[in-house]
Amino acid sequence: MMASHLVKPDTRNCKRPRETEAQMPDSPQLPSLGKSDSSFSEGSGLFYKDEALEKDLNDISKEINLMLSTYANILSERAAVDASYIDEIDGLFKEANTIENFLIQKRELLRQRFTVIANTLHR
Q: Is 28 helix (H, G, I), strand (E, B) or coil?
A: coil
pLDDT band at 106 (very low <50, low <70, confident <90, very high): very high
- Return the pLDDT at 42: 53
pLDDT of 4 > 90? The answer is: no
Higher pLDDT, 18 or 116: 116
pTM over 0.75: no
- Return the pLDDT at 50: 85
Q: How far apart are CA 77 and CA 71, in angstroms?
A: 10
pLDDT of 29 > 50? The answer is: no
Q: Give per-residue burial for 27-38: e unless 16+ CB within 10 Å, then b.
A: eeeeeeeeeeee
Cβ neighbours for 27, distance < 8 A, ≥ 6 positions apart? 21
